């Protein structure tokens, strides 16, 4: 399954550069945690201060709540999240106490009518 989540960064070029540098060398414990919980692929895109995360998961393994529980119980993962929160902030639409917020899918090409032709 594909998940698309959104988060903002603080509007500070130095902090943004640091955030990106951390993501060029993600801690091994973080990578192992993601893989162990069924994350097959994860990409983060940035435009200005807005981040979009696209995460492909194995439905047979992935459970967001179990993943969050495991994170809360792992000191090194909590350390990573605390470090990342120095750079991150919730979007204006993020519920209180949350970070990454799921986006609502509104279109998928594979769901569009087959054989639909563009207007001329």
Q: Is 74 one of the catalytic residues?
A: no
DSSP strand pairing (39-47 vs 50-57): antiparallel
How far apart are alpha carbons 79 and 30 in whole angstroms? 10
Catalytic residue, candidates 3, 10, 22, 33: 10
Residue with tokens 């986006």: 103
SS3 90: coil
CA distances 18 to 1, 45, 116, Å, are 30, 15, 46
The two tokens of residue 64 are 């967001």
How far apart are alpha carbons 31 and 77 in whole angstroms? 10
List active site positions: 10
């Amino acid at each position: 399954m594909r998940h698309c989540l959104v988060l903002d960064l603080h509007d500070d070029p130095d902090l943004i550069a640091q955030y990106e540098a951390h993501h060029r060398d993600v801690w091994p414990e973080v990578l192992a945690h993601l893989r162990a919980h069924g994350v097959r692929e994860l990409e983060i895109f940035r435009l200005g201060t807005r981040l979009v995360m696209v995460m492909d998961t194995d439905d047979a393994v992935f459970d967001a709540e179990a993943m969050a529980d495991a994170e809360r119980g792992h000191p090194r993962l909590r350390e990573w999240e605390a470090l990342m929160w120095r750079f991150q902030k919730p979007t204006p639409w993020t519920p209180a106490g949350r970070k990454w917020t799921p986006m609502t899918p509104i279109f998928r090409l594979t769901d569009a009518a087959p054989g639909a032709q563009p207007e001329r």
